[in-house]
Structure 1
Amino acid sequence: MSIVERREREKKQRQQDIINAAEKLFFSKGFDNVSMRDIASEVDLSKATLYLYFQNKESLFFAIVLRGTRILNSMIRETVYEKEKGIDKIAAYRDAYNEFTQQYHDYIQIYNYFQSGRFNLATEKIIKKGNKNKSSKNGQNNAIPYVSECAMEILKLRKERFSILCDSVQKGIDDMTIRKDINPIEATILLSAIFKNLSDIPEDREKMLKSRGIDNKKYLKDVGELIQHMIMNKK
């Protein structure tokens, strides 16, 4: 291995160590309660060294969101693609999303915060700076292109999930398991909202369900049956 290759490998490992440290802190304390100084201390680096790898706290947050998003999309792909009928693909999508929220609760919390609108401006700035830096031959901050790529891949994966679900609806219309009068885009937006909120039930509503003997498993099953009645072709 050449010196250049060794240095590149060490750089990537250091980058991952920083992300791991930030992830641990964000999961335990929340984004707003963690500083770059906290992250530097956790990974035993100076704050100045940390800024050589990541331009700000938001950029680290995006890297962690991307980690979780990759896992989510992988689970959805694997589960949905093994089904044949459109209506079964939709159920598989729902089940995969719910399984992700159960197994990776911290990631879904992080992702929900990312989607809250809190980072819209930061996302736009990061992508803009990243594109500008890539077009410049004299760019000095190697962190910016990395951050830009994270932000753009998150958005790309979000579009992929929408396409998978939308294609599943269209597949169901084509194979006649779903009503032909349904608009795939409209149905996908509605289903996306339902699936996103299935495992984000307010505590008081959870208590209400439990008082009636409805646990998470039964609630998911009941909602799934309700969705099927809404969209399935009964002819």
Structure 2
Amino acid sequence: MSIQDRREREKEQRRNDILKAAEKLFLSREYDNVSMNDIAREVELSKATIYLYFENKEELFFAIVLQGTEILNSMIRNAVKKAKTGIDKVSKFRMAYHEFNRDYADYIRIYNYFQSRRFELAYNTPDTSRERSKSLSGGEKSSGTSEYLKKIHGLRGERFSIMCNSVQEGIGDGTIRPDVNPAEAAVLLSSISKSMSDIPPDHEKLLEKQGIDREKFVLDVEDLIRHMIMSYHP
């Protein structure tokens, strides 16, 4: 192995160590309760070294959100691939989302925070981006230029496309009503999935009094959605 290759490997390992330390802290604390000093102590590196790999705390947070998003999209792709009809693909998509909610609750928590108004997440046009960069003091880079952010948005767009295509396929194979608008259905189902990842405690208690736990509630909602969009004359 050449010296250059060894240095590249060491650099990649250090970056992964920083990500691992940041992930541990972001998944166990609120965003504002994690500092770059905390991450530096956790990974046992100087803060200056961390800045060689990540511009700021926001970038590190986006990198962790991206890791969770990649897991979610992988689960959805694998699940949808196993379904044969459009309506079954819609169901597989939603159940994969539920399994992610259940198995990766901490990632869901930070993703919901990521989607809050705490960050500027919208894509900018090139002209807008240039104008925005002029207005930023001290050379600070807009979060809209973050490579991590762009990848997260790309994966979000992929999920939307998978759902739209599944609905469209269902309309084509006769398992979903022809009057269902794929984009409208995708937005609605995405909103439902998001809200079900954060059911208020009083609502959970209300369901428990009816003998309905979270798993049963998810299945009941899935059955309801299926009947909302299914074709009665396949």
**Does TM, scored on the shorter chain, surpass 0.5?**
yes
Correspondences of 1:137-216 after superposition (within 5 Å)? 148-216=146-214
* Letter in structure 2 aligned against 1:85: T
* Letter in structure 2 aligned against 1:66: L
Q: What residue number does 1:111 align with? A: 111
Cα distance 1:19–1:86, how it changes in 2: closer, same or farther (>3 A)?
A: same
Correspondences of 1:10-49 after superposition (within 5 Å)? 10-49=10-49
Q: Secondary structure at the match of 1:12?
A: helix
What's the CA shift for 1:199?
Answer: 2.6
What's the CA shift for 1:82?
Answer: 1.2
Q: 2:121·2:149 contact (CA, 8 Å) conserved in 1?
A: no
Q: Which sections of structure 2, spanning at least 5 residues, go unmatched?
A: 134-141
Q: Secondary structure at the match of 2:117?
A: helix
Q: What residue number does 1:56 align with? A: 56
Percentage of identical aligned residues = 61
Partners of 1:10 and 1:110 in 2: how far apart? 29
What's the CA shift for 1:123?
Answer: 7.7
Q: 1:58·1:122 contact (CA, 8 Å) conserved in 2?
A: no
Q: Which sections of structure 1, spanning at least 5 residues, go unmatched?
A: 133-143
Partners of 1:6 and 1:119 in 2: how far apart? 37
Partners of 2:170 and 2:117 in 1: how far apart? 33
Q: 2:27·2:106 contact (CA, 8 Å) conserved in 1?
A: yes
What's the CA shift for 1:213?
Answer: 0.4
Q: Show structure 1 runs of 4+ deviating over 4 A.
A: 121-124
What's the CA shift for 1:121?
Answer: 5.7
Q: What residue number does 2:231 align with? A: 233
Q: 2:72·2:97 contact (CA, 8 Å) conserved in 1?
A: yes
Cα distance 1:172–1:123, how it changes in 2: closer, same or farther (>3 A)?
A: closer
* Letter in structure 2 aligned against 1:107: Y
Partners of 1:220 and 1:56 in 2: how far apart? 38
Q: What residue number does 1:86 align with? A: 86
Partners of 1:122 and 1:152 in 2: how far apart? 10
Partners of 1:150 and 1:51 in 2: how far apart? 16
Partners of 1:50 and 1:191 in 2: how far apart? 39
Partners of 1:208 and 1:76 in 2: how far apart? 30
Structural RMSD (CA): 2.0
User: How many correspondences in the alignment?
Assistant: 218
Partners of 1:225 and 1:29 in 2: how far apart? 36
Q: 1:123·1:151 contact (CA, 8 Å) conserved in 2?
A: no
The Cα offsets for residues 131-162 of structure 1, whole Å up to 9 and x where unpaired, read as: x9xxxxxxxxxxx9xx8321111110000000
Q: 2:90·2:167 contact (CA, 8 Å) conserved in 1?
A: yes
Q: 2:70·2:155 contact (CA, 8 Å) conserved in 1?
A: yes
* Letter in structure 1 aligned against 2:165: D
Cα distance 1:211–1:111, how it changes in 2: closer, same or farther (>3 A)?
A: same
Q: 1:85·1:175 contact (CA, 8 Å) conserved in 2?
A: yes
Cα distance 1:185–1:100, how it changes in 2: closer, same or farther (>3 A)?
A: same
